[in-house]
Amino acid sequence: MISKFFSGFCLDNEKELFKEYILDKDFCVAGFSHGAIKAFEYVYLKNKRVDTLQLFSPAFFQTMDKKTKRLQLMFFKKDKNSYIKNFLENVIFPENTNMNKYLNEGSESQLEELLNYVWDEEKLKELVNKGIKIEVYLGGKDKIIDHEAAKDFFKEFATVYYIKDKGHIL
């Protein structure tokens, strides 16, 4: 198995943005934001050898209240282009990375999935018990996810790299 990368919401082929951290080798699976959910589920469901699972700014919204999630979805439905523009501005904070070449139209179902996804502690424990090393990378200036809650949640199952001056795109 070769290295596999899963892209974030509204993005495609942004793997190069994480070249400073990514293990680009066999038996490593990685994902960014919404792609972190996909990478995690891929590793959990596939019976293939994986040595390392890297989760970059994993979509962690389980501390967000239902009303805020509904408002996010309503804004997306009402004006998708404005939503994505605002989303990308928050993704690149505090950097000024040009994301145009990675832009891919996201869907309402993808947004709904990432907002409502609940990271399962039992599944994480199973992966750790299989010997899979989990690495989580979080930015201390992330304006997309609750990075403090994510740090507290994942530290039991993973090596958490908390980069205090970085945002969602590390």
pLDDT at res. 2: 59
pLDDT at 164 over 90: yes
Query: Residue range 20-49: average pLDDT?
Result: 95
pLDDT at res. 3: 85
Residue-wise pLDDT tens digits, 115-129: 999 999 999 999 999
pLDDT at res. 61: 98
As assigned by CATH, the class of the 4-163 domain is alpha beta
- pTM (2 decimals)? 0.96
Helix axes 66-78, 80-92, angle to 10 degrees: 120
pLDDT at res. 96: 85
What are the residue boundaries of the structural domains of the chain, listed by start?
A: 4-163
More confident residue, 47 or 136: 136
Query: Residue range 20-32: average pLDDT?
Result: 93
pLDDT at 1 over 80: no
pLDDT at 47 over 90: no
Residue-wise pLDDT tens digits, 76-103: 999 999 999 999 999 999 988 899 999 9
